[in-house]
A and B are shown apart, each in its own frame.
Chain A
Amino acid sequence: MSTKPSSNKRGSVLIVGGGIGSMQAALDLADSGFKVHLVQKDPSIGGTMVMLDKTFPTGDCAMCMISPKMVEVGRHLNIEIHTLAEVTSVEGEPGNYKAKIKLAPRYVDPDKCTGCGDCEAKCPKKVTSEFEQGLAKRKAIYSLFAQAVPNTRAIDATQCLFLTKGTCKSCQKVCKAGAINYEDKGKEIEVNVGAVILAPGLDRYNATVRGELGLGRWPNVVSSIQFERILSASGPYKGEVKRPSDEKHPHKVAWIQCVGSRDSHNANPWCSSVCCMYATKQAIIAKEHDKRIEPTIFYMEMRAFGKDFDKYVERAKKEYGVRYQRAMISAVREEPGTGNLIMRYAAEDGTLIDETFDMVVLSVGLEPHKNADEFAKTFGIETNAYKFAKTSPLLPVRTSKEGIFVTGTYQGPKDIPETVMQGSAVAGEAMALLGEVRGTETMKKELPPERDVANEEPRIGVFVCHCGINIASTVDIEKVVEEAKRLPGVVYATNTIYACAQDNQEVIKQTIRDQKLNRVVVASCTPRTHEPLFQETIRDAGLNKYLFDLADIREQCSWCHMGKKDEATKKAKQIVKMSVAKSRLQKPIQTDTVGVTPACMIIGGGVAGMTSALALADQGFDVHLVEKENELGGLVRNLHRTLEGSDVQGFLKQRIEAVKSHPRIKVYTGAEVKKTEGFVGNFKTSLTDGSSFDHGTIILATGGVEYEPTEYLYKESDRVITQRELEKKIAAGEAATTSESFVMIQCVGSREEPNQYCSRICCQDAVKNAIAIKEKNPDAQVVILYRDIRTYGLREDYYKKARELGVLFVRYDVDRKPVVEKAGDRLQIKTWDYMLNKELVLDADWAVLSTGLRPHPTTDQVGEMYKVTRNPDGYFLEAHVKLRPVDFPSEGIFVAGLAHAPKNLDETITQALAAAGRAGVVLSHERLAVSGIIAKHRRELCMSCLSCFRVCPFDSPYIAEDGKVSHNEVKCMGCGICAGICPAKAFQVNNFRDDMILAMIDAAAECEPAAASESK
């Protein structure tokens, strides 16, 4: 990792787009020594995810997940966000690009703006809100949404009364920070970067094109993104499910799937991959919001192909009563007078039914941005026929131009975790390209030495913030300041218009020096966004950052007690009093650091393990690749071609050679891990072959196996084979030499108890082999018996191609499975046809079973060893199914490939690159800082009752060699569960100690008489 001054590579990366994929890439890169320029066309980062209410399949709140990430990106020293910006040109070569960025005028000076929002409140001009999808209004000066990052407002020049008509100036008058600048002309800047990452995100299909469905015509027909806003607590109806025409609560709500997807006429031929699941989620959430709702989802095929998705759909059916109706809707009519909607559909038996609904939601698909063509030209990259960035299944995040990478929906339709995974994957790719110049362009803050305050009496300074008028219009600031001055330990108290404004930060620093303050309390807004800022401020003035406390008198006071000035003022005083009581007891906290061994151990030598190994080795780290078999390759050794036609065996051969010849990779075949000790940055592993080594991170890529069927006469007749066996025959030229007939049976060993999950790859396998047969011999017959064809994303093309080639698709139901019988030396297969309502009897030369995937038998054992959990199906459970798809809760351990869940080759490669990116972030640090907010263990008080040991989710308490409990602070996340449960109070969380909490409670209790005496 030594920096070569001679290299002309640049240690910075340009990321185009500001959604969740871009944010993940930015954080991974900036956290590992690269400067990031993030260019976003909207006034805020956030992308699509911020518009969503909840996410499937866990029902987590989207904003609650993404908001802390946005704050992290916004505050990162090495991420520079350029909003309202577009890249206009890129020149150069991999490692060294020059990009021009055009920034549109914002008309608000971000250096002066504090984000208080007074201007927005005062602005008289109302504009239809794009963010609320036309269901609500915003102002001409606005932030995209309440949690926008940066939270600097922007003026919409097309709507502003001053900029269009020369009158008004309300915002300028009300802005106490003087941030409004009507003269702003925007600017053009140039950046010099080593790599470019394209993450422009998506557009949604404009469903008004499908006029027969009535969007934009019948008010109670809404798009799915509008429905997200309707469900959202911050949306137009504050989370109450209402319909637009009369704001009544709808009872019968219908979803229409595939609007704009899987349709080459006036729409997009691809499957948008996410709609089946988001409709299921919306139905469930709607029902949770209002029990009376009866949801019906009209669909063609239920594509619940992701991890735990089928279980989610089953729950929707059984626990929530969501009705799934397999039917295509050709028209939505409005019932005169009621605003209800009538839909006609054919039931499975062919009967035509007219059903009335109160509200209809169109599940609109995803597509590339309208200007995708021009975008591709700007960066000089190739696109596919549908204007998505062209990539290959074997190089899933590389564009046609070296050094320019792609992530997220611009590469193809996908959901959040896959986007996040690709975010880390592109970060990993960029790290590999720029490994040698890591750390050359990042900034590191120089800090003054910390003042020793240990022997000083508390000298507390209190700053009470007006937040413009946000707090001051409800709370009497002067009275709060007066009260603060009277509190013990307080030597200084004052008010400030915006505590967070740049100039006031300087005032706080100066006051610390002048008044010799050794503790600071700011009474203002939420610690979530502002505590890190003030901590940094006092640290700049030489105080330990844990000598700061924030009293929230905005969210917890002025905002929720608006109009009740006396009571709010009283409460604000109490809150400040509590904060000061805590502050008196605050102590400086010294944070520890531990060294990092710059090496990674990867368990599993399949495609996932090898891909991670190469990516990390190219980044400049040592890799120990452990494979229990005697040769590398894993499951892919049995795979010949991808659906798209890539040569898998050739690729595998190349990978194996590259791994074997890489100087930084050491391969251990025929070996297993005997023991791993240590923690993130400092693991020590010994193998069964006697070797041992130190490493800083671990990637679990233990892979999977194919299910070996026991059903459908497999092994009883040599005419019953698996897809893999058929693939082998096709590769050897032995299949379809004559006009043979093949009947393929899907979901063998998948999607039924006890394996209630989709194996994800089998539909494509069947389609791939069927196409190969038909192309070789058009007279050969192929019938595919399926439950739902799940050729998601751009794979839909091949489903279409198979149908065009004459492959027959016949649906079966799990309750009425096909039956395979021997008929002489051939086979006879019986299945129920739901279209004909008759039994079909098919004569076949071959029955081909599409067998599912299972986790590798060693998964449990490996899981036990590293204390990482598995889901009910035995696959490793990641730290968070949406935003941490390759991490484990335990630091320094990552997952990739089939060990995580069934997936296609391109997805395995992506996840392996992501794991390498995430591991690279850890390994790039010479030392890792341990958080200050951790539990401290006092052994002299500890009885070793093991309560903490049992409840800690991170395994930080451990049994030491003397047989008593000890505590590994490096693993501690500061959650405080141990402190809560410890009967001896041996655990105390720094800055949240019991004495502090008690002092705060006492302070609150004392306040009452004081308040009462005042009201005399």
Chain B
Amino acid sequence: MVEIAYYPGCTLHASSELYDVQCKAVLGKLGIELKELEDWNCCGATSAAKTDEFLSIALPARNLGIADASGYSEMVIPCSSCYSRTLVSQKRLLEDPELKNTINAELSLKVQGKTKIRSILEILIPKAASGELTEKAAKKLEGLQPACYYGCLLTRFPVDLDVPDNVENPQGMEVICKAIGAKPLDWSFKTDCCGAAASVNDTDTSLFLMSRIMKDAIARGANCFVTTCPMCQFNLDAYQDQVRAKYGISQQLPVYFITELIGVAMGISPQALQIDRHFVDAMGLLKELKLL
């Protein structure tokens, strides 16, 4: 078992608890044990980034300090927002030693900048490339035609960073889907915004954005979405009925986490993966395709 640091962020301990469960289960089967950071704090997410530049760097910095002290060389952050904020903080501190000193002065565990921050895809892709994933996921997800939805945060950052995938047309999830026998489709809205936190305060805009995403996925022949971002997953899942009603979309699309599909392919029970906890029924399609 390889151990790596794990930052779940608030979502994976709340609305997207299933994602937390799935990450641990799936990565466990791939020989990776997630070691959750001790005493981690919120990354600041949208609120800090929009209101207080200093705080938006300082909040993830505290977590980075803990990670650097933990002794793990890598830390996985499955939530796209947490991943982005933490990466940006790390980069900013690298470029601005003065800011780093100011923040470190207040931290008991100082930021050293040595922990490599990974998205969940960066952990999974090498496993798909090496064939290990195909080997451990015995069930082929035949008939599943997902629209791989990356959302706006995973490949695009407010600072210059080396992006490990194609920025506008990322391929990571497609590689993984193919490795487990699903047939991902190319479509136009892979990296478009779902409305994110705006779904709460400007629901109409968010519904419009999601309607475009849904329409394109359906027109391309997708029978589900797959994503890595808990925000995207939550929005498309929880608001889908409203989107469909407002924009006259008859078809329903279940919204899976990538870990969920891998879990099914690995033969982990739907209950253990908490597939029954979606707003839009996610079990039906899998049953229909005889994958459960």
Chain A residues at the B interface, C-beta cutoff of 8 Å: 210-212, 217, 331, 333-334, 336-337, 342
Contact = CB atoms under 8 A, between A and B. Distances in A.
Shortest beta-carbon contacts, A-B, top 8: A211-B168, A336-B219, A333-B188, A212-B168, A211-B169, A336-B220, A217-B169, A334-B188
Nearest to B222: A336
Contacts of B188: 333-334, 336, 342
A930 B163 CA distance: 66
Contacts of B186: 217
B216 interface: yes
B167 A336 contact: no
B174 to A, nearest CB: 13
Q: Which of A333, A334, A336, A337 has the most CB of B within 10 A?
A: A336
Interface in B163-221: 166-169, 186-189, 216, 219-220
A333 B219 contact: no
Contacts of A336: 187-188, 216, 219-220
B146 to A, nearest CB: 15
B165 to A, nearest CB: 10
Contacts of A342: 188
Interface of B: 166-169, 186-189, 216, 219-220
Given A217-B169, A336-B188, A342-B188, 8 more contacts: A211-B166, A211-B167, A217-B186, A331-B168, A333-B188, A333-B216, A336-B187, A336-B219
Contacts of A211: 166-169
Contacts of A331: 168
A220 to B, nearest CB: 13
8 contacts: A211-B169, A217-B186, A333-B216, A336-B187, A336-B188, A336-B216, A336-B220, A337-B219
A217 B219 CA distance: 18
B137 to A, nearest CB: 28
Contacts of B189: 333
A787 to B, nearest CB: 33
A337 B188 CA distance: 12
Nearest to B189: A333
A330 to B, nearest CB: 10
A332 B206 CA distance: 21
A474 B168 CA distance: 54
Nearest to B219: A336
A328 B58 CA distance: 36
A588 B168 CA distance: 70
A165 to B, nearest CB: 28
A406 to B, nearest CB: 32
Contacts of A212: 168
Q: Which of B166, B187, B188, B219 has the most CB of A within 10 A?
A: B188
A333 B188 CA distance: 5
Contacts of B168: 210-212, 331
Contacts of B220: 336
B113 to A, nearest CB: 25
A333 B192 CA distance: 11
A587 B116 CA distance: 86
A331 B188 CA distance: 10
A212 B170 CA distance: 11
Nearest to B156: A212
B218 to A, nearest CB: 8
Contacts of B167: 211
A500 B168 CA distance: 55
A108 B168 CA distance: 44
A337 B216 CA distance: 10
Nearest to A333: B188
A207 to B, nearest CB: 12
Contacts of B169: 211, 217
Contacts of B219: 336-337
A999 B187 CA distance: 69
Contacts of B216: 333, 336
A249 to B, nearest CB: 24
Contacts of B166: 211
B223 to A, nearest CB: 14
A211 B167 CA distance: 7
A337 B186 CA distance: 12
B167 to A, nearest CB: 6
Q: Which of B168, B186, B220 has the most CB of A within 10 A?
A: B168
A250 B68 CA distance: 57
A335 to B, nearest CB: 8
Contacts of B187: 336
A210 B168 CA distance: 8
B163 to A, nearest CB: 10
Nearest to B215: A336
A214 to B, nearest CB: 8
A122 B157 CA distance: 53
B147 to A, nearest CB: 11
A342 B169 CA distance: 16
A839 B291 CA distance: 66
A518 to B, nearest CB: 71
Nearest to B217: A336
A130 B216 CA distance: 34
A334 B189 CA distance: 10
Nearest to A342: B188
B123 to A, nearest CB: 23
Nearest to A216: B169
Q: Which of B169, B186, B189 has the most CB of A within 10 A?
A: B169
B183 to A, nearest CB: 16
A331 B166 CA distance: 15
Contacts of A337: 219
A333 B216 CA distance: 10
A217 B188 CA distance: 10
Contacts of A334: 188
Nearest to A266: B167
A629 B36 CA distance: 86
B171 to A, nearest CB: 11
Nearest to A210: B168
A331 B189 CA distance: 10
A337 B168 CA distance: 21
A210 B167 CA distance: 9
Contacts of A333: 188-189, 216
Nearest to A211: B168
A461 B243 CA distance: 87
A274 to B, nearest CB: 26
B156 to A, nearest CB: 10
A763 to B, nearest CB: 30
Nearest to A331: B168
A119 B219 CA distance: 48
